[in-house]
Amino acid sequence: MDQKPRTKLRKLSVHGPFEIPDTKSKLGGTKFYVVDTERIRVFWETVVGGHEKGANVGSKDGIYVFAMKAGKGHTPWYIGKATKSLEKEAFAPHKLTKYNEVISNVTGTPVMFFLTSNKPKTRNLPIPLVGRIEKDLIRQGIVKNPKLMNKQNAKDKTAWKAAGKGLKKFNNMMGT
């Protein structure tokens, strides 16, 4: 009997949600909200850095999910990968433009989730794995929010959802 190769299960840590500092801005007499870029450094040092000693979330690579919290739920609006570090990439200028558009037009509180290696001393995940996780999360994010801002890695637009009496046991079996 041939042995099939084992699939390696990579465990990730989910950090967040962390409230993103925002501020009122004014353009041509119109007031709107934007990410407060002056407080982003403090966000990394105290909010993210203080939540789990030794995790060093900002220095790791991984996946980030920008979402809006409203009521008891969160709606994803942007899902991205960071192959250098989350701190360097999650709030890059072209990302801020996207976040600011959402913050100005959607009711709720802007938040960020981060997915990283679950090993405190491990900074990097394999880059192909980070890409696959981003792609999978974008596909799931589109199901939750068809207006998700980045759909470039989700060419397969087929959305599906399972239901039925055995769903709980099925999800448990599949680890979801």
| Distances from the Cα of 71 to the Cα of 37, 41, 76, 77, angstroms | 25, 28, 14, 16
What's the rounded mean pLDDT across residues 51-72? 85
pLDDT value at residue 2: 62
Whether residue 109 contacts residue 156, with contact meaning beta carbons closer than 8 Å, is answered with: no
pLDDT value at residue 12: 86
Taking the alpha carbons at both ends of the chain, their separation in whole angstroms is: 30
DSSP letter, residue 55 = -
pLDDT tens figures, 68-78: 999 889 999 99
Structure tokens at 136: 């999978």
**Mind spelling out the 3-state secondary structure of 99-148?**
HHHHHHHCCCEEEEEEEEECCCCCCCCCHHHHHHHHHHHHHHHHHHCCCC
pLDDT tens figures, 77-114: 999 999 999 999 999 999 999 999 999 899 999 999 99
Q: Tell whether the torsion through CA atoms of 74, 76, 77 and 82 is positive or negative.
A: positive
Q: Which residue has the higher pLDDT, 75 or 47?
A: 75
Least confident of 14-18, 122-126, 146-150, 165-169: 165-169
Of the ranges 10-14, 32-36, 52-56, 107-111, which is most confident?
107-111
What's the rounded mean pLDDT across residues 113-138? 85
